[in-house]
Amino acid sequence: MSDLSQLAPGLADPPHDAQRIFRAILDAVSHPGRIVSLPAAPAGPGRLSPAAAAYLLTLADRDTPVCLAEEFDHPAVRDFLRFHAGSPIVEDRGEAAFGVLAANTPQPLEGFNLGTDAYPDRSATLLVEVPALSDGLVQQWRGPGIDVRATVAIAGLPEDFWTEWAANHGLFPCGVDVVFTAGTELCALPRSIAVEV
């Protein structure tokens, strides 16, 4: 581990901060497309957004290996996750419970655990850091948690992402779940959601 004095701080008041952040995440996951602001999000280390940092501090621990895309695979991020969450950092996407990706990470969903028909819950959750949760290509999302349809415009994602997403959604009940993060906000895209332009 590198110099601990350089370590980005974790949650100020773990039980209560984690609870509030979790409820915001739960709100997002149960209302796909809704942009949710995370309370008490710590400043993320390296290029990790406060929202992604808050998500991982709330949900990752030593039982959940994390796979970092190149942009985030930095000693500051590794130390942050190891020290505050105790999460193993893994290279192999297939071993990861959580993945942290950039908007333009190539083949974003490829190789992550999709779960099985008998245990679809064992799939990975991917945090995708994007420049903004609005101002992107306008889409219609449909599925559980959405009253008829949600209009969403996540910015900065290449077309390939949505091609892979369509395939992922087609695997339901298997498939990864995605959470888009930007700044202190996030927006969830569970596998159950169909995306139309």
Partner 1 sequence: MTEINAKDGAYNYAYLDEQTKRMIRRAILKAVAVPGYQVPFGGREMPLPYGWGTGGIQVTAAIIGQDDTLKVIDQGADDTTNAVSIRRFFARVADVATTTRTKEATIIQTRHRVPETPLGEGQILVFQVPIPEPLRMLEPRETETRTLHALSEYGVMQVSLYESIARHGRIAKTYNYPVMVNGRYIMSPSPIPKFDNPKLDRSPALQLYGAGREKRIYAVPPHTPVKSLDFDDHPFEIETWEQCCALCGSRESFLDEMIVDDDGQRLFVCSDTDYCERRRDTAEAAE
Alpha-carbon span 40 to 73, nearest angstrom: 24
In the complex, minimum distance from the CB of residue 25 to partner 1, in angstroms, rounded to a whole number: 7
Region from 8-16, 74-82, 126-134, 155-163 binding partner 1, contact rule CB under 8 A: 8-16
Alpha-carbon span 144 to 147, nearest angstrom: 8
Kindly state whether residue 3 participates in binding partner 1, applying the rule CB under 8 A: no
Alpha-carbon span 140 to 94, nearest angstrom: 30
Q: What track of x and - describes contact with partner 1 for positions 123 through 142 (by CB under 8 A)?
A: x-x-----------------
- Within 79-118, the residues that bind partner 1 by CB under 8 A are 97, 116-118
**What are the structure tokens assigned to 52, written together?**
């992604």
SS (H, E, C) 27-42: HHHHCCCCCEECCCCC
Give the residue with the Cβ less far from partner 1, 48 or 59.
59
What are the start-end ranges of the E strands in the chain?
36-37, 66-68, 98-102, 125-129, 139-142, 150-152, 177-182, 185-189, 194-196
Kindly state whether residue 59 participates in binding partner 1, applying the rule CB under 8 A: yes
- Within 156-185, the residues that bind partner 1 by CB under 8 A are 172-173, 177
**Residue 181 · residue 128 · CB < 8 Å:** yes
**What are the structure tokens assigned to 132, written together?**
């903004």
- Within 63-82, the residues that bind partner 1 by CB under 8 A are 63-64
- The residue within the footprint of partner 1, chosen from 7, 8, 23, 171 (CB under 8 A), is 23
In the complex, minimum distance from the CB of residue 111 to partner 1, in angstroms, rounded to a whole number: 19
Please report, as ranges, the residues that interact with partner 1 according to CB under 8 A: 14-16, 18-20, 22-23, 25-27, 29-31, 58-61, 63-64, 97, 116-121, 123, 125, 143-148, 172-173, 177, 190-192
